[in-house]
């Protein structure tokens, strides 16, 4: 009569013939669009974060390698150390041959079903409820709002799916520690391998509460031993992650303001705990089990003597008398909700500075414990309706009062103080709440548990239509390359160098794709909704601008990226402060594209100091096109606003050649000035024209400098006798009305499509010799000293370098010398540079500094030093040298071997225990 038995001790945990098929069918029903169409998730973290990382990881797997390093984000990032990509999580190995969208699709379906299976068994084991009640608990947790709202964070979903299983294993381990504690340790390790360490911390904290509710020492010892075992089992991932923590922005923990960011607000209590049928609020605030689920949970909270497990009334707090399972889950549920309030919870202000709590943002994620507790308590409530007479009338009053209060509190939603997307409930949602409440009260009064369970499923299904897994887009938004990518890939294929220039994107994604109408017609023919079409266009625009982590999809190196965990490193955060406007806080998760896009201040793009772009190797710049200015049918490219003065001039290189009769400028000047223009044609002849400006005001004003004849210039040189801001320059042929927009050297526009793509001709080589060496302490203070020196206008990154660490006398004050460095091999984990130096120098490699990078000079090991805050450098002697950089973490072989051995021993232990448990006595 059994389809599956899981032996965790002497007694098997049973899945009936009915339960497993029902859970699978419900998963496919709720996720029918993801399961039975080719539509994909194309929003948020799934599209811009996980797809690129999964592709890099899977490519390494398919090549028979570990994903160790990628040069395509943040000027270099460790992959294995980033636990969020789930390198050691076995289910991720299974989907490696699939494309990232399909792999994540399969993983979502599997882990939702896994979460429900664990909740079903947990309800059966700890609460003793029957199959119907346990199935309801599984549905409310696995198909409720909390899980459904987090499918976009696939690693978080994977971790959450293990939460009920770990409570189940812990409950068994309390009674049979020698046999089950190793299995609990393995479960904790697998949850850690999913990559969402905050979920691991929340689960461990919940298990601690569960242990305390037993009011015995033994469960705490079991949990401690299992936790230690889990740490040993996770060594292959734990060691590199701890190493990355040491150089991350979170190495000292987050400050209280950061740790309380995205707290569950009392102002969104009703919107978060009640379902929505039209608009989805911020996903981190969603934790509903439905109106019917809440009502049944309240029945469970205010009743006792449920199922096979006898429980006494609410016990007195006497050590040694365990709390009942129902009371235990009430406590777990309430603590989860209490901690989720974060910023709005005075106790959390103190907790936020404690180890563990200070490593994570988004206290709202504590709602995971609330969601699981509510699902289990609803199972208790349903069982109560089956086993006893009609509940007391007072319970119906409490249900109506609490649900009515939650509904009424939704009127406060717009008072939410942060900027997360929230909205008032619409009439459809209000009617849905009312109908669900009437159905709940009617069926509970008539004691119809089967109909109540069915009504709860229907309610969740209707609410799920606005959850992220039903906001799907065409697979083309992932698979089809856009114009920008095609152009850059063409350049990469043409280059003879092993190193391809990096890119920086600055955009608010305010443009419309040029093929919007054709795409929209295609999407509508495919049956996509307006919301799904908007999602698709956002994804397309992110593809066009190569936003966030999307450059990884095409192996195009970017100086930007996105990561909300331990990346980017603190070194990157410090260095990129040089790129940001003076009033901007330092970025802790990348996203330069958004930070530098300031329409009011910089006409859409605050272009950083050219020195830093050259140093970082930014050869390609992507900006919005919508800020171009049109005046009298002439277009002006306003991306590169520059200032002319008696001390500074401007040069514009004209490519391709253009016959012009005038030069039009957009200028601003506080007082009248004279602009002098010198045009040099292909024969080297110069034409000079001066024009007094009579311009007033603070807005750019168009002026035209007429040429004495038709000229085909190759260079346009501008000077001024007083400060003048030149916003744009355009050559015009007044005979035909044709024009050509110009960009100041060293920039040249190479693509004008939905966006504008520029090339930098002054970019520094990836590897260069530097003789002016300045030493600073290898500390945060030393980094700030280096930044201060680099901000000096006289600092030339091509000639000088700040080296962190001890001073090497022979490299100090060498003076100006010459030398060459050529990259002959460039791979993710290996870089070879041939060097010719006239004197001892430092070879600067403008790739991200990170522990684990080793170097040899002519075969002899040398220390890799941190240079200019975030790059790599090694000392080289005079003469010819070959320098090899390799990423070879010293811990890697030992961690892998130790992890494999411990897993083998744990598996043997569990296997032996399984056989003993399965053998009849």
Please give the pLDDT value at position 297. Answer: 96
Dist CA 87 CA 103 (whole Å): 14
Looking at residues 56-72, what average pLDDT do you find?
96
Which has the closest alpha carbon to 772: 796, 795, 799, 797?
Answer: 799
pLDDT band per the 50, 70, 90 thresholds, residue 492: very high
Looking at residues 173-185, what average pLDDT do you find?
87
Whether pLDDT at 256 is above 80: yes
Nearest-5° angle of CA 522, CA 152, CA 376? 130
Looking at residues 646-665, what average pLDDT do you find?
92
Whether pLDDT at 309 is above 70: no
Dist CA 877 CA 902 (whole Å): 46
Looking at residues 892-905, what average pLDDT do you find?
92
Which has the closest alpha carbon to 855: 898, 823, 884?
Answer: 884
Query: What is the DSSP-derived secondary structure letter of residue 710?
Result: E
pLDDT band per the 50, 70, 90 thresholds, residue 792: very high
Phi, psi of 884 (to 5 degrees): -120, 120
More confident of the two residues 445 and 237: 237
Looking at residues 306-332, what average pLDDT do you find?
64
Stated as kind and residue range, the H or E segment containing 210 is helix 197-214
Q: What DSSP string runs through 78-117? A: ESTT-GGG-TT-HHHHHTTTS-HHHHHHHHHHHHHHHHHH
Looking at residues 27-40, what average pLDDT do you find?
95
Please give the pLDDT value at position 305. Answer: 57
R_g over Cα of the chain? 32
pLDDT band per the 50, 70, 90 thresholds, residue 177: confident
Dist CA 608 CA 218 (whole Å): 60
810-840 pLDDT tens trace: 776 656 677 899 999 999 999 999 999 988 9
Task: Give the lowest-confidence range in 46-55, 79-88, 789-798, 807-816.
Answer: 807-816
Report H helices in 684-813.
780-791
Please give the pLDDT value at position 5. Answer: 45
CA distances from 312 to 129, 282, 303, 304, 700 (A): 16, 40, 11, 8, 80
Q: Sort strands 77-78 and 69-70 into parallel, antiparallel or unpaired.
A: antiparallel
Please give the pLDDT value at position 815. Answer: 60
Residue 96 structure tokens: 């490696």
Please give the pLDDT value at position 682. Answer: 87
pLDDT band per the 50, 70, 90 thresholds, residue 918: low
Please give the pLDDT value at position 721. Answer: 87
Dist CA 54 CA 47 (whole Å): 11
Looking at residues 838-844, what average pLDDT do you find?
92
Residue partners of 868: CB distance under 8 A and separation at least 6: 575, 615, 786, 790, 797, 801, 802, 844
Please give the pLDDT value at position 812. Answer: 63
CA distances from 540 to 509, 514, 544, 751, 822 (A): 10, 11, 6, 17, 37
Which has the closest alpha carbon to 649: 545, 697, 596, 720?
Answer: 720
Looking at residues 651-672, what average pLDDT do you find?
89
Whether pLDDT at 280 is above 90: no
pLDDT band per the 50, 70, 90 thresholds, residue 13: low
Please give the pLDDT value at position 447. Answer: 85
> What percent of the chain is modeled with pLDDT above 90?
70
Please give the pLDDT value at position 8. Answer: 44
Dist CA 79 CA 170 (whole Å): 32
Q: Are 746 and 714 in contact (CB under 8 A)?
A: no
224-235 pLDDT tens trace: 999 999 999 999
Please give the pLDDT value at position 414. Answer: 86
> What percent of the chain is modeled with pLDDT above 70?
95
Dist CA 174 CA 161 (whole Å): 21
Please give the pLDDT value at position 315. Answer: 38
pLDDT band per the 50, 70, 90 thresholds, residue 885: very high
Whether pLDDT at 317 is above 60: no
Stated as kind and residue range, the H or E segment containing 504 is strand 502-506
């Amino acid at each position: 009569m059994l389809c599956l038995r899981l032996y965790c001790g002497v007694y098997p945990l049973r899945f009936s013939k009915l339960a497993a098929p029902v859970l699978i069918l419900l998963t496919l029903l709720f996720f029918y669009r993801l399961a039975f169409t080719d539509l994909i998730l194309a929003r948020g973290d799934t599209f811009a974060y996980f797809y690129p990382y999964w592709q890099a990881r899977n490519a390494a797997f398919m090549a028979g390698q570990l994903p160790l390093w990628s040069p395509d984000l943040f000027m270099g990032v460790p992959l294995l150390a980033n636990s969020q990509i789930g390198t050691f999580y076995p289910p991720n190995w299974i989907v490696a041959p699939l494309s990232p969208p399909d792999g994540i699709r399969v993983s979502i379906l599997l882990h939702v079903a896994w979460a429900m299976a664990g909740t079903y068994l947990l309800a059966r084991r700890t609460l003793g409820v029957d199959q119907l009640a346990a199935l309801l608990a599984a549905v409310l947790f696995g198909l409720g709002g909390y899980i459904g709202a987090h499918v976009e964070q696939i690693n978080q979903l994977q971790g959450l799916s293990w939460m009920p299983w770990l409570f189940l294993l812990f409950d068994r381990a309390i009674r049979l520690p020698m046999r089950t504690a190793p299995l609990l340790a393995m479960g904790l390790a697998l949850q850690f391998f999913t990559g969402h360490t905050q979920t691991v911390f929340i689960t461990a904290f919940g298990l601690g509460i569960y242990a305390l509710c037993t009011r015995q020492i033994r469960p705490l010892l079991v949990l401690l031993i299992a936790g230690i075992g889990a740490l040993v089992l996770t060594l292959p991932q734990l060691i590199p992650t701890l190493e990355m923590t040491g150089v991350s922005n979170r190495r000292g923990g987050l400050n209280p303001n950061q740790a309380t960011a995205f707290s569950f607000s009392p102002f969104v209590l009703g919107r978060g705990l009640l379902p929505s049928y039209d608009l989805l609020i911020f996903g981190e605030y969603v934790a509903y089990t439905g109106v019917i689920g809440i009502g049944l949970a309240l029945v469970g909270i205010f009743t006792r003597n449920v199922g096979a497990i006898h429980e006494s009334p609410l016990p007195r707090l006497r050590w040694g008398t365990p709390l009942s399972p129902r009371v235990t889950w009430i406590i777990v549920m309430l603590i989860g909700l209490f901690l989720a309030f974060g910023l709005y919870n005075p106790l959390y202000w103190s907790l936020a500075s404690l180890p563990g709590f200070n490593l994570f943002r988004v206290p709202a994620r504590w709602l995971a414990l609330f969601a699981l507790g509510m699902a289990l308590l609803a199972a208790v409530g349903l069982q109560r309706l089956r086993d006893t007479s009609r509940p007391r009338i007072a319970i119906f009053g409490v249900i109506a009062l609490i649900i009515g209060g939650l509904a009424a509190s939704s009127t406060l939603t717009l008072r939410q103080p942060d900027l997360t997307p929230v909205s008032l409930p619409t009439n459809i949602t209000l009617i849905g709440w009312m109908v669900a409440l009437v159905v709940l009260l009617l069926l509970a009064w008539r004691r119809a548990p089967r109909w109540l369970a069915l009504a709860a499923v229907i309610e969740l299904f209707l609410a799920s239509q606005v959850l992220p897994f039903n906001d799907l887009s065409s697979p083309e938004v992932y698979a089809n390359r856009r114009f920008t990518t095609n152009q850059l890939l063409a350049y990469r294929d043409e280059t003879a160098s092993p190193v391809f220039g990096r890119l920086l994107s600055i955009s608010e994604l305010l443009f419309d794709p040029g093929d919007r109408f054709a795409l929209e017609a295609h999407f509508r023919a495919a049956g996509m909704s307006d919301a799904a079409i908007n999602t698709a266009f956002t994804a397309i625009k992110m593809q066009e601008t190569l936003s966030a982590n999307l450059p990884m999809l095409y192996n195009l190196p970017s100086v930007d990226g996105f990561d909300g965990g331990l990346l980017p490193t603190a070194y990157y955060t410090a260095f990129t402060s040089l790129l940001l406007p003076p009033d901007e806080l330092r970025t802790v998760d990348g996203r330069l594209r958004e930070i530098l896009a300031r329409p009011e201040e910089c006409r859409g793009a605050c272009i950083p100091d050219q020195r830093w772009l050259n140093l970082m190797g930014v050869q390609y710049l992507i900006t919005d096109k919508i800020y171009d200015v049109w005046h009298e049918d002439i277009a002006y490219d306003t991306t590169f606003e520059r200032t002319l003065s008696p001390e500074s001039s401007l040069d514009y290189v004209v490519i391709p050649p253009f016959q012009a009769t005038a030069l039009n400028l957009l200028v601003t000047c506080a007082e009248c000035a004279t602009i002098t223009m010198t045009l040099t044609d292909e024969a080297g002849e110069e034409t000079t024209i001066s024009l007094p400006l009579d311009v007033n005001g603070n807005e750019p004003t168009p002026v035209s400098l007429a040429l004495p004849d038709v000229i085909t210039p190759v260079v346009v040189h501008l000077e001024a006798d007083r400060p003048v801001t030149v916003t744009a320059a355009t050559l015009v042929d007044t005979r035909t009305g044709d024009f050509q927009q110009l960009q100041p050297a060293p920039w040249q526009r190479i693509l004008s499509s939905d966006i504008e793509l520029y090339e930098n001709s002054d970019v520094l080589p990836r590897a260069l010799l530097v003789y002016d060496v300045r030493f600073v302490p290898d500390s945060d203070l030393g980094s700030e000293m280096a930044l201060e020196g680099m901000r000096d206008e006289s600092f030339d990154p091509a000639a000088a370098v700040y080296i962190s660490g001890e001073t090497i006398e022979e490299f100090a004050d060498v003076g100006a010398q010459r030398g060459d460095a050529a990259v002959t091999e460039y791979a993710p984990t290996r870089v070879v540079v041939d060097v010719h130096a006239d004197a001892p120098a430092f070879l600067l490699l403008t790739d991200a500094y990170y522990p684990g990078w080793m170097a040899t000079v002519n075969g002899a090991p040398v220390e890799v030093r941190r240079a200019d805050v975030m790059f790599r450098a090694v000392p080289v002697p005079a003469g010819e040298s070959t320098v090899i950089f390799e990423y070879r973490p010293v811990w890697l072989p030992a961690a892998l071997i130790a992890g494999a051995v411990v897993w083998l021993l744990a598996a043997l232990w569990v296997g032996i225990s399984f056989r003993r448990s399965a053998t009849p006595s």
